[in-house]
Structure 1
Amino acid sequence: MSKENTGSLDTSLVAAAAGAFAVLCASASFAGVLADARWLFPALITVLAVAGVGVLGRRLSWPTAGVVAAQLVALLEALTVLFASSSAFLGLLPTPGALVELSRLLGGADELIRTGVPPVAADPPLQALVCLGLGVVALLVDLIAVGFGTPAVTGLVLLCVFAIPASLADRMLPWWSFALGGAGYALLLAAGGHHRRWRRYEEPDRVAQTLFGRTSATVAGTAGVIAVLAGSVFTGVGTEGRLPGSVPEEFGGTDGIGLQPFTSLRGQLNRDRVVELFRVRGLQQDSYLRAMTLRKFDPNTGWQLEGLTQGVEANAPLPLPEGTTIGRGRPERVEVQPIGYRDPWLPVFGTPVSVSGMGRDWRYDPAAGIVFTQTNQETRPYTQQVVVPDPSPDELRSARGPMPIDPAYLDPSGISPEVAELARQLTEDQPTEFDKVVAINRFFTDPANGFRYDLSTAPSTGQDALSDFLFRGKRGFCEQYASSMAVLLRSIGIPSRVAIGFTAGYQDGTEQVITTEDAHAWVEAYFPGWGWQTFDPTPLADGRTALPQFLDTALHPPQPAAPLPGQPLPPPEPGAPAPPVAGAQPDQPDSRDRPQQRREPVERGWSLTAFGVLALLACTGAAAPLAVREIRRGQRLQAITEGREGAASTAWREVLDEFRDRGYQPRATDTARQLADRLVTDHELDTEGADALKRLVTAVEREWYAPTPQADGTLSETLKSITTSLQLNAPMDLRSRLFPRSALPPWRTHP
């Protein structure tokens, strides 16, 4: 009798199992960047499929190339079954449609990696990516450790598994993941190194002594300690001492949901899913939350962060922004709780007076109006004391004086002649700098000019992106509009910059909730004394704009009272739109450039009626199952009380419906007695209820099978005893009472 048949172990199988175990141990490092364990089971299936096919191929004496090819097929098959079975042939075999679905899923993982803040939810795209990576790693480990018999080399491959989550996490990965990875690698060294010295089939005791003996335990412990120490070094590589903006191509914002420190005419600001970022308390009026400002315009790449200084300590009282001498405005105390936001930029409202609670090492640059950190740290809840400027249009029209700001905010480099000519034409009739800014703002928001908000830009015509947008495409999102307006302002000598941050979000009780949908870009123009003031050229139609009062007043001046007959019309305000022509309907004001603000819907009589009808229909639909159940119950009780033919069967159907309402589904193959026994056990009926159920089964069997069924005058009391026992021992929750499951066609146990 061969060793194979006497309980001996196949040593190559031991080595293969150790390799798969080492890969799974290394995959524990993903626990540091994935928020839940949904990825674990698919990863287990994928690794076992690759390792299992390797074992099968070697048992059948396939060549190494054949084993690798079979493992690649197994990997593809595993991914298909796990993530694209709906498009696969018979749910198993890959088809072109399944490959397209897998490709789409893996492509979606790129956006989750780029925008997610670790730990992120293990959604299917990330699960598929993790399984693909671990499947390839499992194949390489199996090939190196078992096929080539050099398990030590697999350490380089397993190290790559740790390097990916270590580079994404901003904290050290869980210590146990390094210890587990070290132990798995030590076991692989023991098994992979010995399987060539072992016989083809080896005694289990010798295999166990080699794998779990003193030497292997020492190696495993040492490997675990080294892995923990190495892990702390890998994860500790951060951004300590680097200044945001000094090396934007390296720092450039985080890979989290925080915004990148540049905006481009070709960029995209949309997200595949909505993520809650902040909860804000104390905000008295909708206002933009500024994260950063951009002062450099490059015609090829758009607006970029440049010139950020070391600034001042943000925890101390903050100076007025550079070039601002008028500190008048509405004081507010605002509390901000970051939820899904992590970035080196701390968003602030208005003009910050003080910021506290966010921790140490935060700086404030008065020139850029930015609060930032040079260290890699969490964004904690913080409190702002801010002033929201409230200049009037006339005060901004009369703003004069020197401009003590960096000349870079006036730099017109890279602006084409046709763009400069457009700005001149738009503002040539405007008497003040403020009116010129308003005229350019109105150019974008006036529907007559053909601009519209869209998350995708118009196709390129081969010209520069700015000219494409202004003269041909006229379609884009906030980055396009803010970038274009700031360029037009600079071309006529008005200092401007692009601000990046968030709109005010939506109201949730006493809090404002700001999500990724509220990410926004707008324009800030400089006025001597008053400093940087907000303008927004984006024609949003979803009510997210929060225009300052001076801009809203300038864009939509109040209509003067109708003059008396024969009285001349008053002259229009500078920069105001022309009055309506004769014959225009007085109850239809011109709203071509009026942005969609948050407004309460206009009350209409028919809307209340429609609401009432809809509410009545909804209530009727919701109550239908309960009504059906009560009508059916009443009809059955009447039939039982009157002793009609088939009363026992009627009572039995009522009992089954009572159990169905509690989530029980009878099996068609059970007899009445089997069903009764299961019901008594499952719902723990008391003695009275169990005895009553037995009496009912006896009456049902007599009615079904006796040659001459006799009427049973006690059925009503029997049924009442059963239902009373159910109410005491198996009460239904509110959902089951309001929406009884038995309102569907009843389950019949007898034809």
Structure 2
Amino acid sequence: MSTENTGSLDTSLVAAAAGALAVMCASASFAGVLADAGWLIPALITVLAVVGVGVLGRRLGWPTVGVVAAQLAGLLVILTVLFASSSAILGVLPGPAAIAELARLLGGTGELIRTGVPPVPADPPLQALVCLGLGVVALLVDLIAVGIGTPAVTGLVLLCVFAIPASLADRMLPWWSFALGGAGYALLLAAAGHHRRWRRYEEPDRVAYALFGRTTAVVAGTAGVIAVLAGSVFTGVGTEGRLPGSVPEEFGGTDGIGLQPFTSLRGQLNRDRVVELFRVRGLQQDSYLRAMTLRKFDPRTGWQLDGLTQGVDANAPLPLPEGTTIGRGRPERIEVQPIGYRDPWLPVFGTPVSVSGMGRNWRYDPAAGIVFTQTNQETRPYTQQVIVPDPSPEELRAARGPMPIDPAYVDASGISPQVAELAQRLTADAPTEFDKAVAVNRFFTDPANGFRYDLTTAPSTGQDALSDFLFRGKRGFCEQYASSMAVLLRSLGIPSRVAIGFTAGYQDGTEQVITTEDAHAWVEAYFPGWGWQTFDPTPLSDGRTALPQFLDTALHPPQTPAPQPGQPRPGPVPGAPAPPVAGAQPDSRDVPQQRREPADRGWSITVLALIVLLACAGAATPLAIREIRRGQRLQAITEGREGAASTAWREVLDEVRDRGHQPRDTDTARQLADRLVTDHDLDATGADALKHLVTAVEREWYAPTAPSDGTLTDTLEAITRSLHHNAPLDLRSRLFPRSALPPWRTTP
């Protein structure tokens, strides 16, 4: 090495280090979805290894293809050392056993991603996946920024790093992750951008000025703003919950009954395996855990959430539900610890008196009986003070009086005459509203009527789904049963709604464990004074049903002794079983198989992510074109190719265009140079360099046999440095350089 290199910095090494730093800054976004920092050190080692192999390959003069191949091999080796060393050859080399171990480890990430709710622990499978992804990103950034010399294009690659955790997180990623990403990208632009203009070895003060000067600060701020906006878009897409009162379109238009309302629950509750959702302490008797209620019935699409109000602050003492004047019942204090549940609906038992511990911005709607939030936040452990109503059948039979509830709860529009006639026939002998509700409930649970719980419904006959279920199929799951019973009650004038939530789960020591298997839908019917009471028509055969005492007593009345000879037989019991339906099949009482996961809705996230990426790519295209063109010209000038002076002159003309001045076709090189010095106030160094370049251009144009000028690189650098100092570009011109846009007409 010559002495001129003493105390200088290798500019290609500076650019490579900036690329590695930019990748690690972008990886900070994973802090929003990974619960601990166990991934950080392996990721850092992986990125440094990939970039280090690239630096070594370029030092040895390998071609670009050879450098990329060596980096891929290095990535495989480092993954083997980090995650499969026990199966590797000599603990380092990736043999067949080590590759199989890595494949097994990476294959296990699918289940973690599908069942985990961010933030999730950074277990080895996720660490391996993150390291693999960041290793590939580091390779691409190193290739684009250092190998090809177009650092602006790396912004798209780094944006993808942000997009992955932002689309999975349920809330905004940490602000500092965007700040780090913007700063890393700005340093990469400064380092790799100057790399093509610097000499092979540069003085440290010049490198520091380029990396930490005003230009880099402006680019860093701009990149940070773009990263925050893009992160906001992706985070909104990835959020599991939605604003209460809305029904996302991706769940609309089903031909089943009651499927559409299962919007935010659907993605979590229909799994290929059981996922624990809650642990509950203090529950004295099995009861349903209500997440939301649905009041609007559409014969075409099923039940929908409708009419949810802003309600009251859920952290304050809660009023009785709308239309409820009797607050009698069993008081309970219940502690709920969410495990794998995150949604804008906070499930509650019974009649809530107070709820605490879940954080701010939670609301309670007394009309719907729902605790909800309109902000994206984590569901924390919370405590409920509740009243579990315990009316007797006689008290509900005697419930009379006005119904101070929304008339929408008795809306029976769209119900077919055939369904209404069935409801009348089932309740012909029921004297009270309560007995009618019991009779309808029994119609579904009595084995003689042929209804069976099943996760597959009977084939459609072309009729509406409700009629298909009630009169022909008689096979379905809780949504079908709850939806059908609520419709039948409304046709009788009994206010009703569908509730969605969970059964009580199973006992584990002093706790109740509620899992995805306990997702359930039931019916709530209104009785004056007593409010909304639970009915459950689903004929479950696995012991998960948790009927309130009044309903269990009414459905299973004490057996009366057989009459003695000569004594009259007792009359019909109100709410007795309805006559069997013709053609009914005996109940098989099959234990249902677990639910299948619905069609993946990740396509909507992917589509919107692609739209955002394409928009960002379109916005970055002019800057990318300008950087690519500049890099190619500088390389041609540095290598002294034919026409190097003309190439340098074209670069100066683009600098002029970027500043809003279109050169006239009639101007000679010297005329244009004079105007450039005057219009942009070039200093003496810049003016002298410009004259030197004009001389070289004229020599090349008019005396092509003359020897080439070997100082063109320094000459061009002096001109551009003078332009940047005396006529700096504004932010708009930096991001959207005019020289990369289609030319416009100007007046001579």
Give the TM-score range, shorter chain.
Answer: 0.5 to 0.7
Classify the secondary structure of the residue corresponding to 2:155. Answer: helix
Paired residue for 1:216? 211
- Measured against aligned partners, the alpha-carbon deviations of 1:139-192 in whole angstroms (never above 9, x if no partner) come to 653453235412134234424423543465466645664565455435533442
**In structure 2, what is the equivalent of residue 331 of structure 1?**
331
Q: Per-residue deviation at 1:546?
A: 1.4
Residue 348 of structure 2 is aligned to residue 353 of structure 1: no
Alignment of 1:659-698 (within 5 A): none
Q: Paired residue for 1:245?
A: 244
Provide closer, same or farther for how the CA distance between residues 199 and 315 of structure 1 changes in structure 2, counting only shifts above 3 A: closer
Is 2:524 the counterpart of 1:529? no
Map residues 613-652 of structure 1 onto 2, 5 A cutoff: none
String of CA shifts for 1:620-659, please: whole Å, max 9, x gaps: xxxxxxxxxxxxxxxxxxxxxxxxxxxxxxxxxxxxxxxx
Residues 483, 232 of structure 1: alpha-carbon distance in 2 compared, 3 angstrom cutoff? same
CA contact (8 A) 1:265 1:465 kept: no
- Aligned pairs for 1:693-704 within 5 A: none
Asked if 1:289 corresponds to 2:289, the answer is: yes
Per the TM alignment, residue 559 of structure 1 is displaced from its structure 2 partner at its CA by 1.7
SS of the equivalent of 2:363 reads strand
1:373-416 deviation per Cα after TM superposition (whole angstroms, max 9, x unaligned): 34444544444333222222233233344333222222234445
For the Cα contact (< 8 Å) 2:443–2:578, is it kept in 1?
no
Give the distance between the partners of 1:84 and 1:443, measured in 2 at CA. 60
Q: Distance in 2 between matches of 1:554 and 1:595?
A: 25
User: Counterparts of 1:298 and 1:73 in 2: how far apart (Å)?
Assistant: 59
**Does 1:410 pair with 2:410?**
yes
User: For residues 382 and 40 of structure 1, do their structure 2 counterparts lie closer, same or farther at Cα, with a shift above 3 Å needed?
Assistant: closer
1:461-518 CA distance string (max 9 Å, x none): 6665445544555444333322232233333433211112222233344443434443
Cross-structure match for 1:366: 366
Q: Quick one: distance in 2 between partners of 1:406 and 1:78? A: 65
Distance change in 2, residues 1:18/1:460 (3 Å): farther
1:447 is displaced (CA, Å) by 3.7
How many Å separate the matches in 2 of 1:391 and 1:25? Answer: 61
Identify if the C-alpha distance between structure 1 residues 77 and 262 changes in structure 2 by more than 3 Å, giving closer, same or farther.
farther
2:190 touches 2:210 (CA, 8 Å); kept in 1?
A: no
What TM-score results when the alignment is normalised by the length of structure 1? 0.60
Q: How has the CA–CA distance of structure 1 residues 294 and 131 changed in structure 2, closer, same or farther, with 3 Å as cutoff?
A: farther
Amino acid in structure 2 at the alignment position of 1:263: F
User: Helix, strand or coil for the counterpart of 1:524?
Assistant: strand
CA distance in 2, matches of 1:63, 1:265: 49
User: How far 1:263 moved relative to its partner?
Assistant: 2.4
Q: Check the 8 A contact 1:279/1:339 in 2, yes or no.
A: yes
> Corresponding residue for 2:490?
490
Cα deviation for residue 524 of structure 1 reads 0.7
1:11–1:199 Cα contact (<8 Å) kept:
yes
C-alpha distance in structure 1 between counterparts of 2:466 and 2:458, whole Å: 12
Q: Which residue of 2 aligns with 1:307?
A: 307
SS class of match (2:196): coil
Provide the C-alpha distance between the structure 1 equivalents of 2:378 and 2:359, rounded to a whole number of angstroms.
Answer: 9
- How far apart are 1:460 and its partner, in Å? 5.8
Answer whether contact 2:151 2:189 (CA < 8 A) is retained. yes
Deviations 1:556-583 (A, max 9, x none): 112224555665554452223499xxxx
Task: Return the alpha-carbon distance in structure 1 between the equivalents of residues 466 and 127 of structure 2.
Answer: 40
**Structure 1 segments unaligned to the other structure (5+ residues):** 253-259, 580-590, 597-751
1:111 aligns with 2:110: no
Q: How much has 1:265 moved relative to structure 2?
A: 14
The alignment's TM-score, normalised by the length of structure 2, stands at: 0.60
Structure 2 counterpart of 1:308, one-letter code = L
One-letter amino acid matched to 1:544: R
Distance, in Å, in 2 between the alignment partners of 1:426 and 1:154 is: 70
Deviations 1:605-633 (A, max 9, x none): xxxxxxxxxxxxxxxxxxxxxxxxxxxxx
**Cα contact 1:392–1:550 (8 A) shared by 2:** yes
Q: Which amino acid aligns with 1:296?
A: K
Asked if the contact 1:314–1:362 (Cα under 8 Å) also holds between the matched residues in 2, the reply is: yes
Cα distance change, pair 472–131 in 1 and its aligned pair in 2 (3 A): farther
Q: How much has 1:368 moved relative to structure 2?
A: 1.0
1:216 partner amino acid: L
CA drift of 1:523 comes to 1.0
Distance across 1 between alignment mates of 2:390 and 2:437: 17
Equivalent residues of 2:171, 2:376 under 8 A apart: no
Q: Superposition pairs for residues 117-266 of structure 1, below 5 Å?
A: 118-122=118-122, 130=130, 134=134, 137-138=137-138, 140-166=140-166, 169=169, 173-174=173-174, 177-178=177-178, 180-182=180-182, 184-197=184-197, 206=202, 213=208, 215-217=210-212, 244-249=243-248, 262-263=261-262
SS in 1 for 2:188: helix
Structure 2 residue aligned with 1:320: 320
CA–CA distance in structure 1, aligned partners of residues 196 and 43 of structure 2: 29
Deviation at 1:307, TM superposition (A): 0.6
- Could you tell me whether the CA contact under 8 Å between 2:430 and 2:575 is conserved in 1? yes
Contact 1:173 1:231 in 2 (8 A): no
Distance, in Å, in 2 between the alignment partners of 1:266 and 1:344 is: 10
Is contact 2:15–2:192 with CA below 8 Å preserved after alignment?
yes
Q: Match of 1:432?
A: 432
Instruction: Tell me if structure 2 keeps the 8 A contact 1:280–1:337.
Output: yes
Contact 1:141 1:154 in 2 (8 A): yes
- How far apart, CA to CA, are the structure 2 residues paired with 1:427 and 1:507? 38
Instruction: Please give the secondary structure, in 2, of the residue aligned with 1:534.
Output: strand
Q: How far off its partner does 1:549 sit?
A: 0.6
Q: Tell me the amino acid that sits aligned with residue 282 of structure 1.
A: G
How far residue 552 of structure 1 moved from its aligned partner, in angstroms, is 0.7
**Structure 2 CA distance for partners of 1:90 and 1:508, relative to 1, 3 Å:** closer
Distance 1:191 1:461, change over 3 A: farther
Partners of 1:81 and 1:424 lie apart in 2 by 73
The alpha carbon displacement at 1:36 in A equals 3.8
Letter in 1 for 2:114: E
Per the TM alignment, residue 312 of structure 1 is displaced from its structure 2 partner at its CA by 3.0
Q: What is the alpha-carbon distance in structure 2 between the residues aligned to residue 207 and residue 274 of structure 1? A: 62
C-alpha RMSD of matched pairs (Å): 5.3
Q: How many residues get paired? A: 562
**Residue 352 of structure 1 contacts residue 387 of structure 1 at CA under 8 Å; is this kept in 2?**
yes
Superposition deviation, residue 366 in structure 1: 2.0
Contact map agreement 1:245 1:307 (CA 8 A) in 2? no
- Please tell me the residue identity of whatever aligns with 2:530: W
CA contact (8 A) 1:310 1:363 kept: yes
Secondary structure in structure 1 of the residue aligned to 2:25:
helix
Alignment of 1:532-681 (within 5 A): 532-561=532-561, 569-577=569-577
What SS class does the counterpart of residue 262 from structure 1 fall into?
coil
TM superposition shift of 1:231: 7.2
Q: Deviations over 1:50-99 (max 9, x none)?
A: 768978998887688x999999999999999999999x9945889xxx89
| Paired residues of 2:178 and 2:228 also in contact (CA < 8 A) | no
Secondary structure of the equivalent of 2:324? Answer: coil
SS in 2 for 1:576: coil
- 1:652-699 CA distances to partner (integer Å, 9 max, x unpaired)? xxxxxxxxxxxxxxxxxxxxxxxxxxxxxxxxxxxxxxxxxxxxxxxx
Query: Offset of 1:350 from its aligned partner?
Result: 1.6
For 1:262, give the aligned amino acid: P
> Which one scores higher on RCO, CA 8 angstroms, separation ≥ 6?
2
- Structure 2 residue runs without a partner (length 5+): 88-93, 252-258, 580-585, 592-748
Aligned to 2:395, the other structure's residue is in SS state helix
Paired residues of 1:171 and 1:235 also in contact (CA < 8 A): no
Q: Kindly provide the CA deviation profile for residues 168-224 of structure 1, in whole angstroms up to 9, marking residues without a partner as x.
A: 546664566456545543553344224434567x6xxx497776x354356788877
The structure-2 alpha-carbon separation of the partners of 1:189 and 1:225, relative to structure 1 and needing over 3 Å to count, comes to closer
Contact 1:267/1:479, CA 8 A, preserved across alignment: no
Alpha-carbon separation, structure 1, partners of 2:72 and 2:261:
42
Q: CA separation in 2, counterparts of 1:80 and 1:569?
A: 83
The residue type equivalent to 2:353 in the other structure is: V
